[in-house]
Structure 1
Amino acid sequence: MKKSKKTLVFGASLNPSRYSNMALRKLVAYGHEVVAFGLKEGSVEGVVIDTELKPYEAVDSITLYMNATRQEPFYDYLIALQPDRVIFNPGTENPEFFKRLREANIEFEMACTLVMLSTDQY
């Protein structure tokens, strides 16, 4: 098994039919350490969804589930976490944020976390 990568699911949902919820559950099933931020408080697979921004430490990956227009207020916060990479899931692509990440020397990719896990590319 690969080294666990601490992942922040940003835009996590309590709704099991939402992709952020599926990704959170799959990350846990694959043995990754998961923290989550969303609009509604609750927990999924034992992971508490925080509704306030916390200073998470040692975040390897941030997987985004928030459309581009809603991301802007969070740019500085997400960059300050100094993740190794940010994954822009389908529908979250954001050229303005790409530029900010590039300037901060943070890798990013447009990919689907669910597919990455399923194909052992996570």
Structure 2
Amino acid sequence: MNKKTLVMGASLKPNRYSNYAIQRLVAKAIDVVAFGMKEGEVSGIKVSSELLNYEEVHTVTLYLNSKRQKEYYDYIVSLSPKRVIFNPGTENPEFYDILKANNIEFEAACTLVLLSTNQY
């Protein structure tokens, strides 16, 4: 099963964890879509600065701190993902409650570690 993943907070800078995540997801042949502040491309994946209505998103992996997440709560919930991953530094109990209320699984984990240990 392909776990189509939306990388929220994608960076075009090659030394950012969100950029590494896109590279590793692509290397594992996982469908990737990405949202960031600046449009561009990472490993052949277009980073959009617009909130697009993606279909069949399995996982949203967050690279936005809790304050920056607030404006995206409704958008993320509207995508009806199976899970949301809160990478280190993005933990957000307020958003956990919203996800629980919408029957969306979540975990505080590192996408890169999950990928490298085949737990993704």
Per the normalisation by structure 1, the TM-score is 0.97
Which residue matches 1:97?
95
Q: Give, in whole Å, the separation in 2 of the partners of 1:73 and 1:117.
A: 28
Q: How far does the alpha carbon of each residue in 1:44-91 deviate from its partner, in whole angstroms, 9 at most, with x for none?
A: 011000000000000000000000000001000000000000000000
Q: How does 1:17-32 map to 2 (within 5 A)?
A: 17-32=15-30
1:4, distance to aligned residue in structure 2 (A): 1.8
- Deviations along 1:3-62, whole A, 9 cap, x unmatched? 221000000000111000000000000000000000011000110000000000000000
Task: Count matched residues.
Answer: 120
Aligned to 2:52: 54
What's the % identity of the aligned pairs? Answer: 61
Match of 2:8 in 1: 10
Provide the rounded CA distance (Å) in 2 between the counterparts of 1:117 and 1:77.
Answer: 25
- Aligned to 1:82, which of 67, 80, 83? 80
Structure 1: 4+ residue segments shifted above 2 A: none
Aligned-residue CA RMSD (Å): 0.4
Give the drift of 1:113: 0.2
Question: Unaligned stretches of 5+ in structure 2?
Answer: none
Counterparts of 1:29 and 1:4, CA distance in 2: 13
Cα distance in structure 2, aligned partners of 1:4 and 1:57: 13
